Each structure stands twice: as C-alpha cells, then as structure tokens.
Amino acid sequence: MSESKSVPTMKDVAREAGVALGTVSKVVNGLPVGEDYRLRVEKAIEKLNYRVSSYARGLRSNKTYTIAVMVPNLISPFFSKLVNCINHELSARKYRMLFYATDYDPAQEQELVHLAEQQKVDGIICLSYNPHLQVSPDVPLVSIDRYFGAQIPCVASDNYGGGRLAAEKLVENGCKNLAFLRIGSKLTNEPNKRKDGFIAGCEALDVPYTLKIIDDGTPYTAFFEFLEEHFHDGKLDFDGIFCVTDSMAHVIRGALTQHMGLRVPEDVQIIGFDGVRHFGDLEYTCSTIVQPLEAIAANCVELVLSPRGENAPALICLPVSYGWGGTTRE
Amino acid sequence: MSESKSVPTMKDVAREAGVALGTVSKVVNGLPVGEDYRLRVEKAIEKLNYRVSSYARGLRSNKTYTIAVMVPNLISPFFSKLVNCINHELSARKYRMLFYATDYDPAQEQELVHLAEQQKVDGIICLSYNPHLQVSPDVPLVSIDRYFGAQIPCVASDNYGGGRLAAEKLVENGCKNLAFLRIGSKLTNEPNKRKDGFIAGCEALDVPYTLKIIDDGTPYTAFFEFLEEHFHDGKLDFDGIFCVTDSMAHVIRGALTQHMGLRVPEDVQIIGFDGVRHFGDLEYTCSTIVQPLEAIAANCVELVLSPRGENAPALICLPVSYGWGGTTRE
DNA sequence: GAAATGGAGTGAAACATTACACGGACAGTA
DNA sequence: TACTGTCCGTGTAATGTTTCACTCCATTTC
C-alpha cells in the first residue's frame, strides 16, 4: 500500500500476485492461463494500476502497432479529413497514429521518412510531393496520389474518370462552353489526370473548352485576369467551369459573384473536386466530384498492414461520384 | 558486405568500427569522443545504414520524445488548424506527435488517456469533453478550453473578452439590437464564457439583446425557426448577430441570404468566433473574433514539456482579436 | 497400473539501448 | 620520479517486455 514511488512493472505484478513473470505476460496477452491464476494476476494489476510498457514490448517483439501518416499539413480540409478517416480506420484496428506534416518540402519529407524508420513504425502512409523519395524496403509504405513504381502500392481516386465526369455533368446541365482551371505543382501525380479526363470528356461530347493552368506560387490574381479577359459585355465566354479543387471553386465563385456580378449557377456553373465541405451546404451553389475518402483511407490501412502481397495491385483506383455534399460524416 | 539480412544494431556498428558499444553510443548522442574514433564510427554507421531504435532508447532512458495530442476530430477546421499548429511547435523541438481523435466521447477519451500513458508518452495535450477525466500524476497533461483544477494547467483564449469584443464591435458598426446564437455542449468550459462576455458588453453599452441557445444534437432548424419568429415584413428584429463559432456564422449567413432574402452585412451584420477560414475571404462578409492558434499551441507545448513548475499558472488566458481573416498561415 | 499426452506455470535469455564504474594513458606539478 | 588529475575508451549492468525450453502434474489410453 506504500509502493507508489515509481511506475509498476510486470515484475511488481508478479510479486504481488505470487506468480512468475511469464504468467503475468500470458494474462496480459490473453494467452491460456488457469482461472485462479488469471484472477490473482488481474487483481494485482488492478491494485498496482499496472500498464504494459509499449516500449519494452516494441523492443522485444519488434512490433509497435504504430503507423506513421505524412501529409503536407492539416490546414487543407482535404488533408485533414483524409487524416481523420485514416485515423478512424487505424484506431478501429488498435493501431496508433504518428503524425508528421511535411509542408510540401521534399527534403523534410525524406527526413521524416528516416525519422519514421528510426521510430520503428510498422508502416508509413504518405501523401508525398517528393518524386525521388528514398524508402527502406524494411518498412511497408503506401503512397496516396503518387505512383512510385510497382514496389510501392499507390491509392488514388479515379481522377481521370472524375475529370471526365465533371465535363459530362456540366454538359448534361446545359453548358455549351467549358473552362478548366488548375493551380498546382508541376510534379506528375494522379490528380493531374483530372485534366486529361476533362479534355477527353469535352472531346467525346464535342464541346469547346479552354484550359488555364498556373503553377504553385503563382498569385491567384492570374485566374482573375484570365476571367476578365474572357468577360465581355457583362457575359463570360464560358457557361461551365471545372475547378481542380473545391477550395479553388469557392474562390472562383466568390470572384464571379462579388466582382463580376454574375450569378452562380444561373449565368455560369461551377464544379469542383474533392467533396469536402466544412460549412453547411445551404448556400452552396457549386457541384463537385466527390473523392471516396473513407475508401481511400480503408485501402491505405489495409495495404500498409497486410504483408506485402505477392500479386498485390500496385495502383488502386477508387471510383468518384458526383454530388453537392461530401460523403464524410460531419 | 553481405550482412544485409536484418536491421543493423549498435553492436553491428561497434564491430564494424572496431570500437566498444559505449563509444558508438557516445558518438550517436554527441558526447565527447576522440576525433579518430568518431570518424571510424560515423563511417561504420554510414556503411551499415544504421538508425538508433527509439524503442530501445525509450525503454532504457524513460524518455520518448513523444507527445500525445487529443481532440474530438480533424473535421472541424478549428481542431485541425489547432493540431497543425501544435504539430509545428512540437516538431520544431524534435518531438513526435501521437494523434488521437476522441469523437467527443468521454469514455473513449478516458481510454485514450490510459492508452497514452501505456505508450509512455512524455506528455498529453488534450481538448477534453470529459469533465471527470482521470489522469495519472506521472504524465504531464495540459488541457485546452477546460479547467480541471490547479493541478492541471489549462490554456484558452480570452473567451469572455472575445464575447464582449463581439458586442462592442457590432455596436461600433452601427447595430442597435443584438442576438447571440449558440449550439454546444452543456458542459462548463471556457468557450461558454463567450456568452457572459457578450451579455456584459451589451449591458455596458446599454444595447438590447436576445439569446438563443440550443444543445448539441438539437437540429439546426431550431435556429431557423428562431429567426423566422423574429422576422416581420421583410425585416429582422436584430441588426447584429453574434454566432458562437465561424462555422455557425457561415450557416446562419446562408439561411439569411438564401432563404430570407436579407443582405449581409447591409441588412444584418454577423460576427463569428475562431478566425479559421478554409477558403478565400473574397466573398466573406462576416467578421470574426480570432483565436490566437499559434499562441495557444506554443503555450500548450511549452507547458507540457517544461517540468511542472512550482508556481506555474493554472489557467493561461490568451488575447483574441477582431478581424476578417484568420491568423494562421495558409 | 504404467506410460503417453498435454496443459500450464516457471525462470532465464534476448531485444537495443544508456549509464556507470573502471582503468589506462597522458600531462602538469613539485 | 612520483603524485595527482583529467580525458576517454571499455565492458557490464539495467531497462520491461516476450519467448521458449523445462518441468510438473493431471488426465487419458491401452
């Protein structure tokens, strides 16, 4: 009743219960133990308020039940909801999540992968902006939205199909002249295929389109100038705009309604991509291509936890859908 | 040249470099070692691609350089930006972040605290919705927005001052009749003080006000009904509304502009709270009380890492500001 | 009834690191 | 030369688990 000095260990429990160390270990791990012994040990654990040290356990068994998750940041709603879903999936399987923000910095990303390896995590889930990421073959890594090659499984939405769907939906809703707006990195990654899908959709439907693509770092005003150029006599050259993300769709919509006096969707329709909404949809007048965040998360976790399958698919492509609201729980 | 089977250990490095184990440890930890020895060891580390096992290190030294961070989820922009800031602060100090989502569930929260203790983290930062949280005195815990008592440091914005500031700013901008809308938990916590501050502000300025407070789980339509009740002949009884969060402000604004045909801010002004914006501010016509997210994060990390100060403050209250934009980097 | 079988408790080894006591070498001082 | 002190490499103990070979006892089988 007076040994409250330091954190109790398995040895303390064993002594308290009058059993051997191995027996306590069995009780803790749910291995078969005589009923009377189990009770004695459980009582001792309760009394001492004992908790297993996951560090000792991890050291000994080389299994840490920890997955490192790396995305650029938690500011973008897409990233934070994605991480939220991954976390749900992991904790349902009794795994812990070590989080790293990469800030879009390839060097930092590389360093964090090393850190995670040092941490002896059981796996890494990574949305990477470093096309030359070096990764030790010892720790399984799953990539989101970037295909590194057959050794590293990659999970992504059907970006091509989504781009195509965006074009189709705009036309279906009566648009006759489309535009595609994109800001983003020059790196090749899966989301870039949205453009290709969009173009394919336009050409299949024989609808004219314009592209405006600017690189990361370019000020947003480049878009406003582009829109102004195509604005004559109170009318825009396009009646349908596909923005590469919802967040961009929101900004573009603001520019059109506030500064150019256009009505959305009456004068011009806007469709975004991602399907993440933070606020109510009440006044939301843009549509979107919804990424299946839960499915992406579930596939990532499944892949990172299951031993590197022999004939595992290298690239998993998940179906998107058309909608106004997000699919993730609020 | 052929020992690529398993992960190299310190012993392997020692053998490779022809030195003792302790010497390798010193090199790794930057303790004084002869120049020639250091070089030999570094070369061996390089050659074997050795990384220290943070599990063995954590076991032995009882220091894990890991902080557990618990918030309800990463869906709310306030939570995700907060966690983003905390993560920045932690990684700047070479700490790792173990993330747990509590889903507002007190039982799960309690379980997660136990899990974190088992994980032997160096500390816990927690935005808790469990007023009876049991926490072991062994691991330092810092609470956000909930005061548990003098033993547990609590960090929060000046919610009272913020509520008061909201009232003052509305009046300063010409409002003559105010309303306060809140949805939230019945639990006592710091953000509840926004209401008290608002009331104090109204009474100090001698401005009439109305309160509408609904509990978590109540459908939002309760607010719309409330607004309808105060809507006569195309005019609302109030010309200034203080919403307890930005996210609510956004929804209310949608209801007023889309469904009741009112203009914001011409007919009625809206002020929110938090200062988190995910999209551009272009069309944003509500103001807000900005919480100092970086300061909150910095204080939490500072407190959780520094040994329990003798005369440390139990409740840290950080100044808010009035604004349209958020303060966090985008 | 004796031998085979199997379930379950025991205690020591192993995991990868850090901490520490020890000792050898070398320099400074008298 | 001898004494003292400093610097630093060495090797062992210790950290809290899991694993495994052993042992013991009870039950089954012929």
Domains held by chain B: number:
3
Q: Does B204 share its domain with B253?
A: yes
CA angle, residues A237, A238, A241, in degrees to nearest 5:
145
What average pLDDT does range A296-320 have in this prediction? Answer: 88
Instruction: Tell me how far apart the alpha carbons of residues B225 and B232 are, in angstroms, rounded to a whole number.
Output: 13
List all nucleotides in chain C with at least one atom under 7 A from a protein Cβ: 7-21
Q: Is the CB of B20 under 7 A from strand C?
A: no
Q: Which nucleotide is nearest to B62 (CA to C1')?
A: D15
Provide the shortest C-alpha distance from residue B233 to chain A (in Å): 23
Give me the pLDDT at residue A254, please. 80
Q: Are residues A178 and A248 in the same domain?
A: yes
Please tell me whether residues A174 and A266 are part of one structural domain.
yes
What amino acid is encoded at A255 in this protein?
A
Q: Which helix (H) or strand (E) holds B14?
A: helix B10-17
| Paired sense of beta strands A231-232 and A235-236, if any | antiparallel
Nucleotide nearest B31 (Cα, C1') = D8
Tell whether the model's pLDDT for residue B283 goes beyond 80: no
pLDDT of B182 over the 50 cut:
yes
The predicted-structure confidence for A138-179, as pLDDT tens digits, reads as follows 889 999 999 998 889 999 999 999 999 999 999 999 999 999
Which residues of chain B are within 8 Å of residue A329 when distances are taken between CB atoms? 75
B178 shares its domain with B217:
yes
The whole-number average pLDDT for the span B291-309 is: 91
At residue B326 the predicted structure's pLDDT band, cuts being 50, 70 and 90, is very low
- In this prediction, residues A221-235 reach a mean pLDDT of 91
Q: How far apart are CA A199 and CA A193, in angstroms?
A: 10
Which residue range is the domain that position A23 belongs to? 10-52
Is strand C in 7 Å reach of the CB of B29? yes
What is the structure's pLDDT at B135?
A: 85
Please, are residues B222 and B275 in contact by the beta-carbon 8 Å criterion? no
Give the mean pLDDT of A276-280.
Answer: 60
Confidence of residue A255 (pLDDT cuts 50, 70, 90): confident
Q: Do A118 and B51 touch (CB under 8 A)?
A: yes
Q: Is there a single domain that holds both residue B310 and residue B281?
A: no
Indicate the average pLDDT of chain A. 89
Q: Distance between CA B239 and CA B178 in Å, rounded? A: 6
Cβ under 8 Å to B: A residues 123-162 = 136, 138
The per-residue pLDDT for A7 is: 85
Contact (CB, 8 A) for A213 and A195 = yes
Are A262 and A189 within one domain?
yes
CB of B45 lies under 7 Å from some atom of strand C: no
Kindly state whether residues A141 and A166 are assigned to the same domain: no
Q: How confident is the model at residue B310 (pLDDT cuts 50, 70, 90)?
A: low
Contacts of A49 in chain B (CB under 8 A): 136
DSSP A76: S
Position A107 scores a pLDDT of 93
Please tell me the distance from the alpha carbon of residue A85 to that of residue B74, in angstroms, as a whole number: 9
CA-nearest residue to A246 within chain B is B279
A4 inside domain: no
> Does residue A325 form part of some domain?
no
- Is residue B279 within 8 angstroms of chain A, CB to CB? yes
pLDDT tens digits, one per residue of A30-50: 998 999 999 999 999 999 999
Residue A309 belongs to a domain:
yes
- Rounded Cα gap, residues A328 and A326, in angstroms: 6
A256 and A194 both lie in a single domain: yes
Question: Per-residue confidence at B246, pLDDT binned at 50, 70, 90?
Answer: confident
In a domain? residue A58: no
Q: Which residue has the higher pLDDT, A284 or A23?
A: A23
Instruction: Indicate if A87 and A25 belong to the same structural domain.
Output: no
Task: Decide which of A217 and B318 is more confident.
Answer: B318
In a domain, A1, yes or no: no
Same domain assignment for residues A211 and A283: yes
Mean pLDDT of chain B: 89
CB B274, CB B288: distance < 8 Å: yes
Of all residues in chain B, the one with the smallest CA distance to A57 is: B55
Considering the domain architecture, whether residues B182 and B34 belong to the same structural domain is answered as no
Residue at B195 is within a domain: yes
Instruction: List, for residues B74-126, the tens digit of each pLDDT value.
Output: 998 899 999 999 999 999 999 999 999 999 999 999 988 888 877 789 999 99
Per-residue pLDDT at B193 exceeds 60? yes
Task: Give domain status of residue B325, yes or no.
Answer: no
The residue of chain A nearest to residue B83, with distances taken between CA atoms, is A74
Q: What is the token pair recorded at A132?
A: 């030359």
> Max Cα separation, chain B?
91
Which CATH number do you get for residue A108?
Answer: 3.40.50.2300
For an interface test with A, give the residue of B61, B63, B74 to mutate (most A CBs within 10 A). B74
The spacing between the Cα labelled CA in A201 and the C1' in D6, in angstroms, equals 79
The CATH number linked to B24 is: 1.10.260.40
Is the pLDDT assigned to residue A231 strictly greater than 90? yes
Judge whether A2 lies within some domain: no
Q: Which two tokens stand for residue A243?
A: 């923005």
Q: What per-residue confidence (pLDDT) applies to B324? A: 66
CA distance B243 to chain A (A): 14
Question: Is residue B23 domain-shared with residue B137, that is, in the same domain?
Answer: no
Q: Is the pLDDT of residue A5 over 80?
A: no
